[in-house]
Amino acid sequence: MVRSTNYERISSKCSRQARSEIYGSHGLRSLRLIPCGMVQHGAAPLIEHGQGRSAYISARTSTLKAPAIPESVQMSRNNPIDAIRNSAFQMTIDPPDDASDIKGMYVINGSMHIIKGRGIYRVQLADEIDPKRTNATIPNTQQRVLPYGADCELVRQTLMTAKRLFDSKLLGQSFNEVRAIELAFDALKDIILMHTMRLDIDATLQKITVTLDAMALKNRSLSVPSVGEAKGMAETFIQKADHAMTDLYEIAKLFYGDALGKRWFESLLSLVKEKHGDDIVFAKFLEDVLPFLRLTRNARNCIEHPKPDQRVAVTDIVLLPTGQLQPPGIEIIHPDTPQPPIALTNFMAQMIEQLAEIFELMMVFLCGLNVQPFAGFPVQVVLYPPELQKAYGVRYGYGTYNGDRVVPFG
């Protein structure tokens, strides 16, 4: 079976009612984000950039509003298109199936991304699409890039936790927080695709279950149902899991660089023991999760470089001698990390759960070992109490302790 880690899982339902009317601006390619927890209602800027315009969080709506660019920083006023691009605008991010508040604003791959309860949306202003201002009809756009948002634990464990922890003010100015968040977002997209694949197979099996009563023998023959390309889906699933783990390793390299060596997470374990000792909790965590990480990497290799003793066997629905129908299954044949036969959907569910948990805790340990004092005050990564988990939508963040009470930072 897929090995499970022993670390306690804490549910963190995100019921935060965030202030979510965002006053945005043009020129979003050069933004500096200030953590939402530091923003006072209607007072402090959430976003600042080189054109002298700021964004604010104020009311509970799903509307993006931008004031006009001040005349002192506007482009040439001789071109009519400038009057359009420099003027104030309003954009509502409110699809019929996502009436939730805006939970956060992130700059990812140079574009503004808005997180709501049921989706992540990329907002592109006309100047991003048409920077030379050649076409006055180009609109500002919004696009849902993921159908899951802050209501989804997978989003909270990856992207939202990354945004909470990856802060160069605390990790050192040399830490590339922009790249770290991009890697977390790439991993999230792969994990969400894995999650969607599992749901699709589950839905197909549910439909097949409904039709089982109508199945009948004809001339001693039975038409056995099928979920489709089970082997292809299983292989894509494993490759996406490996991609997410590779993104996590690239995040670790942002902390330690070439010192990690070429032995993947085994190198990280060796480095952590060398720098901090064998008994550090992070070393124990890595020892615990390495079997899962090796299984994921070896399964990927079995798919891309199969051998007689290193391969992945996938079955569709099978009629058993008992007369029962067995759901699709998977077996990983490998001398070092074998996976005995298991129902494909069970394998997928366990892989997703453990992958997201490892991603979250790996970021926690990496930041916890590398956090620096801020203005002379000691700061550490803490497990938020339930009320702060509700407020921030994540389980971990920076803080200090006042007795037994957690005082959040940022």
Q: By the 8 A CB rule, do 341 and 331 touch?
A: yes
Predicted pLDDT at 52: 35
* pTM to 2 decimal places: 0.80
CA dihedral angle for residue 79, residue 80, residue 86, residue 87, rounded to 10 degrees: 160
Q: Residue 19 belongs to what H/E stretch?
A: none
Which residues of 268-317 form beta strands (DSSP E)? 311-315
Predicted pLDDT at 316: 92
One-letter amino acid at 121 equals Y
One-letter amino acid at 329 equals G
Predicted pLDDT at 277: 87
Q: By the 8 A CB rule, do 360 and 289 touch?
A: no
Predicted pLDDT at 263: 83
Short-list 152, 104, 111, 107, CA closest to 129: 111
**Listing from the earlier edge strand, what are the strands of the sheet with 89-92?**
22-23, 63-66, 89-92
Q: How far apart are CA 272 and CA 265, in angstroms?
A: 10
| CA distance to 167, 309, 360, per residue, from 276 (Å) | 22, 38, 21
Structure-token pair, residue 29: 């390619």
**Listing from the earlier edge strand, what are the strands of the sheet with 396-402?**
380-383, 396-402, 405-408
| CA distance to 154, 229, 243, 253, per residue, from 238 (Å) | 17, 15, 9, 23
DSSP track, 305-324: S-BTTBEEEEE--EE-TTSP
Predicted pLDDT at 264: 87
Question: pLDDT 10s digit of each residue in the chain, 410 long?
Answer: 444 443 333 222 222 222 222 222 222 222 222 222 222 223 233 343 333 333 443 334 455 555 555 555 445 556 788 888 888 878 888 888 888 888 888 899 888 999 999 999 999 888 888 989 999 999 999 999 999 999 999 999 999 999 999 999 999 999 999 999 999 999 999 999 999 999 999 999 988 876 666 666 666 677 777 888 899 999 999 999 999 999 999 999 999 988 887 788 999 999 999 988 888 999 999 999 999 999 999 999 999 999 999 999 999 988 888 877 889 999 999 999 999 999 999 999 999 999 999 999 999 999 999 999 888 788 999 999 999 999 999 999 999 888 889 888 87
Residue pLDDT, tens place only, 251-276 = 999 999 888 877 889 999 999 999 88
Predicted pLDDT at 49: 34
Q: How far apart are CA 171 and CA 347, in angstroms?
A: 36
Contacts of 152 (CB under 8 A, 6+ apart): none
Q: Residue 113 belongs to what H/E stretch?
A: strand 111-116
Four-residue CA torsion sign, 272, 277, 279, 281: negative
Four-residue CA torsion sign, 286, 289, 292, 293: negative
| CA distance to 58, 171, 315, per residue, from 167 (Å) | 24, 6, 46
